[in-house]
Amino acid sequence: MSALELKEWLADAQRTKPVLLDVREPWEFEACRIAGSQSMPMRGVPARHGELKRDTDIVMICHHGARSFQAGMFLEHMGFTSVINLQGGVAAWARDVDPAMPTY
C-alpha cells in the first residue's frame, strides 16, 4: 500500500481504521511516526504478536518498507489474515503525505 492510499484509508470515516504497527527501533519511533501508530520493534514481534488480533487489518510500517515487509511475512505465517505493508515506510509518508514530518 502506498502512503497516499493509507492517507485516504485513514481519512475515510466509513472504513474501520487499521492497526498501524511500527516495527522500527524505539529511537526511530521517537524521531518521527505516523499519528496513531503503535511501536513494536521488529525483534519483539515474535514474542509480542499475541497482543494483536489475527483478523484485524494491520498496516506494517518501518523506515523504507523492508523490515516491515519481513515482520509482516512472519505475522502471515502465524495466521494473521490482513497484513499490509506500507511501501516506502515513514520516508514515503514524509515525502508524499506530511512534508513537515522530521526525517532521518
Mean pLDDT of 43-72: 97
Q: How far apart are CA 25 and CA 2, in angstroms?
A: 22
101 within a domain of the structure (yes/no): no
Mean pLDDT of 51-55: 96
Catalytic residues: 62
CATH assignment at residue 47: 3.40.250.10
Percent of the chain clearing pLDDT 70 (strictly above): 100
**pTM for the whole structure:** 0.96
Q: How far apart are CA 60 and CA 83, in angstroms?
A: 7
- Domain containing residue 86: 3-96
Domain total of the chain: 1
Specify whether the CB–CB gap between 92 and 3 falls below 8 A: yes
16 within a domain of the structure (yes/no): yes
Mean pLDDT of 83-89: 98
103 within a domain of the structure (yes/no): no
